[in-house]
Amino acid sequence: MYDYQVLFDFTQSVFEKMGLPAGEAQQAADILMRAELRNISTHGLVRLPEYVSLWQNKRITVTPKFTVVHETPSTALVDGGKGLGLVTAPKAMDIAIQKAMTVGTGWVAVRNSYHFGIAGYYAMKSLEHNMIGIAMTNANPLVAPTFSKYGMLGTNPIAVAIPAGEEPPFVADFATSPVSRGKVDVFESEGKETPGGLLQDARGNLTTNSSILRNGGALRTLGGDVAHGGHKGFCLTSVVDILSAVLPGANFGPTVVPTLGYVKDKTGAEDRGIGHFFGAMRIDAFQTADEFKAGMDEWIRAFRQAEPVEGQKRVIIPGDPERESEAIKLREGISLSKKSLDGLKRVAEIFKIAF
């Protein structure tokens, strides 16, 4: 078990050694540590070596020029100047929130950015402002569209955070693929097979081989085959790709220049980074915040108190497990996988800092 603050300080100092200004290094560390606390460790410290490697390969800059290219009262297009998503995304979300304060809603599309950690972090920034927050991003092409032989879309997560009154907020934060790439990595590192229906091999046939993503394989879409709605999963992941990448002019789907060594760069497209899309909606731009929050309390209680199927305790409200995990891990410490630990040790060596 590792103490939260110890890991936080280490992570911040790594970002500082990379050359990020102190405030931004702290922000970036906060995002990765929030993933650890929320038990989304696939988006936590295990990613730190990936960020370092992007920096070593000069794919990202640590002092990027953040530019608002175009805006209207409710929208903005941001160029992240090839900075880390962890630096660019919080600023973009803040613009969405500012615009929502003025005209009711704010929507910001970002290009020339990179992996931004957990989408939920940004969506949740809206909560203290009595706003609904939305965040999404595209990513390395690993998901095969319905009927496609190859991965062409990212696991493209969506997060939606919605304030409640007496109840804690509703926070949905999920890859639009049935499992995230990180989950498959975990199965692989534990020597386990991936459940059937989730992966296909390089010919497009179903497989349970957890190493298949390194060997030309791909994830299937949410839903699986057409009889089970897999084409709807394709629609959903596509919409995230288009709003996050085509709308701001980032690299979309198969043209994303991979940040994973084992994903082949098939199209040789110019690198305009990946893209994100953020939204903030003031709830009192619709009904009063008090009425809405009372309604959300009713919603949350109706579902939490629903009769469960045999063998299950209850219906789980999106956000509940992550919030409970935060409280426990802050108190009791954070456990790290072997892969995370090995990565942190490598990073510590690179920067000659203690771990």
Residues 259-288, interacting with a second copy (CB under 8 A): 281-283, 285-287
Of 221 and 340, CB closest to a second copy: 221
CA dihedral sign of residues 330, 336, 342, 343: negative
Contacts of 228-236 with CB under 8 Å at 24 or more apart are 230/146, 231/146, 233/146, 233/176, 233/177, 233/178, 234/145, 234/146, 234/153, 236/158, 236/176
The answer to whether 289 and 126 have CB atoms below 8 angstroms apart is no
Which residue number, 64 or 169, has a Cβ lying nearer to a second copy? 169
Give 165's strand partners: none
**Residues near a second copy (CB under 8 A), total:** 87
Q: Which CB sits closer to a second copy, 26 or 98?
A: 98
Which of 13, 54, 130, 174 touches a second copy (CB under 8 A)? 174
Binds a second copy by CB under 8 A, chosen from 170, 273, 274, 329: 170
Chain residues 230-249 in contact with a second copy, contact rule CB under 8 A: 231-236, 238-239, 241-243, 246-249
- Least separation in angstroms between residue 59's CB and a second copy is 22
**How far, rounded to the nearest angstrom, does the alpha carbon of residue 54 sit from its chain's CA centroid?**
17
**The two structure tokens encoding residue 205:** 């046939």
Question: Binding to a second copy (CB under 8 A): which residues in 30-89?
Answer: 69-70, 72-75, 77
Q: In what order do the strands lie in the sheet with 131-137?
A: 67-72, 75-79, 105-113, 274-282, 131-137, 157-162, 170-175
Q: Which of 224, 271, 333, 341 binds a second copy (CB under 8 A)?
A: 224
Give me the least distance between CB of 248 and a second copy, in Å please: 6
Rounded least distance, CB 227 to a second copy, Å: 5
Which of residues 99 and 115 has its CB atom nearest to a second copy in the complex?
99
Instruction: Kindly write out the interface string for residues 115-154 of this chain, putting x where it contacts a second copy by CB under 8 A and - elsewhere.
Output: -----------------x------------xxxxxx-x--
What is the closest distance, in whole angstroms, from the C-beta atom of residue 7 to a second copy in the complex?
28
CB of 12 to a second copy, least distance (A): 31
Residue 274 CA, chain-centre distance (Å), reads: 12
What are the distances in angstroms from CA 132 to CA 16, 163, 240, 275, 317? 32, 7, 18, 21, 16
**Cβ at position 181, least distance to a second copy in Å:** 13
User: Rg of the chain over CA atoms, in angstroms?
Assistant: 20
Alpha-carbon distance 317 to 42, whole Å?
21
- Cβ-contact 104, 285 below 8 angstroms: yes
**C-alpha distances in Å from residue 234, one per residue of 202, 205, 213, 214:** 19, 17, 18, 22
Q: Of 231 and 346, which CB lies nearer to a second copy in the complex structure?
A: 231
Q: Which window, 33-41, 295-303, 333-341, 347-355, contacts a second copy (CB under 8 A)?
A: 295-303
* Nearest distance in Å: CB 144, a second copy: 8
Q: Helices 22-37 & 85-103, crossing angle to 10 degrees?
A: 90
Q: Given the complex with a second copy, which of 12 and 177 has the nearer CB atom?
A: 177
Does the footprint of a second copy cover residue 325 (CB under 8 A)?
no
Q: How far is the CB of 234 from a second copy (least distance, A)?
A: 8
Q: Can you tell me which of 86, 87, 198, 274 binds a second copy, judged by CB under 8 A?
A: 198
334 neighbors 325 (Cβ within 8 angstroms): no
